[in-house]
Chains A and B, each alone.
Chain A
Amino acid sequence: MNPKSELFAYLKEILQNNANEKSLNWLDEKSKKIQDSGSKNAFYLAFSQASRFFSKENLNLDQEAKRKAHSLISGFQPEFWNILQTARTYLLLHFSIEKEEWLAAIKQLFETGDLYEQQALYASLSLMPYPEEMIPRSIEGCRTNMTLVFDAISLNNPYPTIYFPELNWNQMVLKAVFMQRPLYRIQQLDHRRNPALAEIASDFAHERWAAGRNVMPELWRLVSPFINEKFMKDLEKVMNSEDLLEQKGGALALYHSDFPAAKALLNAHPELIQAIEKGIISWEKIGQEFQETRV
């Protein structure tokens, strides 16, 4: 099987485990029609009407299915997808026409999409045939204020880390902070940390403090590799916080820093060091706790 038909087979399989026969028959019929005719209108209509056949419940996937997704496309995490967007993606992948026409048709689809259609489109950027052509569109998508759409691009999506230039990557991460989204769900976040982003994150923390507001603890993950004299002042403040969750974020940032003063500051909190080394404190756990209790 070539990679494309392997992906078709995979999506089909996970849909089979998550939808009823009537809906699957509809999907078969429409995807065949779209593939055979290459008709834009047939595709648009089926893409919209998929909502009549598939629910917005999350896909239910076993470990094997999750692993397989990743092996097909690195970073593909359909366990964060719903059934409807999976069906829509399946239809989209069957719409295969000449490149320029395809790009024009997809542009129209993005521009006229409803909330959930946009979610499906942005989340599937990495599965699309010309992902590099979609960079301006994905950057435009990040300008949204609809959380659902922003999340589709920024969270559990391999696209931004591969394709976003640094400026846009930094803007996306900062916007995620602004919108209090779970940073641990941004793929390859550590890999793409950079000094400019650390500066921006620190400035943001100062703005929040000036306004008498608290700072999400995951933010210090962005600063950690670049801790210097200046950032130490921020972390001293964090370690003096009365909120233990904020302290945990500060401690983890300090723990992964090579800056000598960072070690010294952290040594005053042996219980936090111990918790980090036992895996009780991790960025994921901090992020989860923050989402559950503070947002």
Chain B
Amino acid sequence: MPMYIDPHIHLVSRTTDDYEAMHKAGIVATIEPAFWLGQPRTEVGSFKDYFSTLVGWERFRASQFGIVHYCTMGLNSKEANNIPLAEQVMELLPLYVGKEGVVAIGEIGYDDQTEAEDRFYREQLELAKEVDLPVLIHTPHRDKKRGTTRSMDVAEEHGMDPGWIIVDHNNEETVKEVLDRGYWAGFTIYPHTKMGSERMVEIVKQYGPERIIVNSAADWGISDPLAVPKTADLMRKMGIPEEHVQMVTYKNALAAFSLSGQMHEDDWLKAPPIDQTKKMSGNSVLRGGQVPRVEGPSDRVEN
């Protein structure tokens, strides 16, 4: 069965049914970018607990379903507009960016393209350089084209290497410039609002598979945690070569985010030697070779 990576999904908002379905569909690894929660936070402690969830509980929860969970750390553009709070979050970030499984600074960038957003975007680009992490850029929904161009201009102003930046939420209007300038181009398959799978197929046909990365960005809104495998299936049906399908739904994401040194194919291909203390109610066992881990239903903790 083909393996997939969903390199952008907000799993804190998803149910265990989703995890089960994702695992069944072949998703072996996920990346959860730090984002907002649908309403603005008012206290820095809310950020702290959220960040801790991303490296703690959610990682554990994913592992119960045989999925390796990574995350990106950052202050999102929406909440950058609460300056006193944003300053406190910036002080918190150094505690998290060096942690295991943190594969990028993100998602950062612009929302309304305000001065405050610009300030914290730049500060976080500097942070990424300091700790040698790639950057995941969230491009704005409104005034998208110009916002995307500006995100790249500013990144280059700060001396960032485009090969270390994933520009996300692209569409037909933004993709050409992003690829031409040497960035990774993320595409979010979002029912109704952003890219649909059919449009994605056309883009891969037109631009080829190089540096294109498909994700679901599934969160608390209408979204589909199976968007990546579903899009892959549609691509196959529409005659896109298997090698290209694998690139945009697995290999490219791995190549981009493994620049962090925090993500390795072996993390799921070869489960680490599991000692007894790591057993989830005892059932998790090393299965070596090229077979991803499969855990059974007794692998759940009773609450």
Contact = CB atoms under 8 A, between A and B. Distances in A.
B55 A148 contact: no
Contacts of B13: none
A48, A118, A291 interface centre (most CB from chain B within 10 Å): A48
Given A44-B95, A56-B272, A182-B276, A114 B281 contact: no
Contact of B303 (A41, A80, A145, A152): A145
Given A113-B52, A114-B59, A291 B282 contact: yes
Given A52-B261, A147-B280, A115 B275 contact: no
Given A58-B275, A145-B301, A49 B60 contact: no
Nearest to A52: B261
B54 to A, nearest CB: 9
Contacts of B194: none
B191 interface: no
Given A45-B94, A146-B56, A179-B301, A114 B277 contact: no
A213 to B, nearest CB: 11
Contacts of A155: 277
Interface stretch (B98-106, B156-164, B196-204, B231-239): B98-106
Contacts of A210: none
Interface in B218-275: 261, 272-273, 275
A112 B94 contact: no
A218 interface: no
A178 B52 CA distance: 25
B278 interface: yes
A116 B301 CA distance: 18
B277 A80 contact: yes
B146 interface: no
A117 B301 CA distance: 21
A155 B280 CA distance: 14
B207 interface: no
Contact of B279 (A56, A113, A147): A147
A119 B55 CA distance: 13
Given A44-B95, A145-B303, A179 B281 contact: yes
B99, B100, B277 interface centre (most CB from chain A within 10 Å): B277
B90 to A, nearest CB: 14
A294 B14 CA distance: 30
Contacts of A112: 48, 51-52, 95-96
Given A45-B98, A112-B96, A178-B302, A295 B281 contact: yes
B7 to A, nearest CB: 20
B279 A51 contact: no
B300 to A, nearest CB: 10
Contacts of A178: 302
A48 B98 contact: yes
Contacts of B48: 111-112
A161 interface: no
A82 B52 contact: no
A76 to B, nearest CB: 15
A203 interface: no
Given A114-B100, A115-B56, A148-B60, A57 B273 contact: yes
B55 A115 contact: yes
A151 interface: yes
Interface string A31-64: 0000000000100110011011001111000000
Nearest to A182: B276
A116 B48 CA distance: 17
Interface of B: 48, 51-52, 55-57, 59-60, 94-96, 98-101, 261, 272-273, 275-283, 298, 301-303
24 contacts: A41-B94, A45-B94, A48-B95, A51-B99, A55-B272, A56-B272, A58-B273, A80-B276, A80-B277, A113-B55, A114-B59, A115-B56, A116-B100, A117-B99, A119-B277, A147-B277, A147-B301, A148-B277, A151-B277, A152-B277, A155-B277, A179-B301, A180-B281, A291-B276
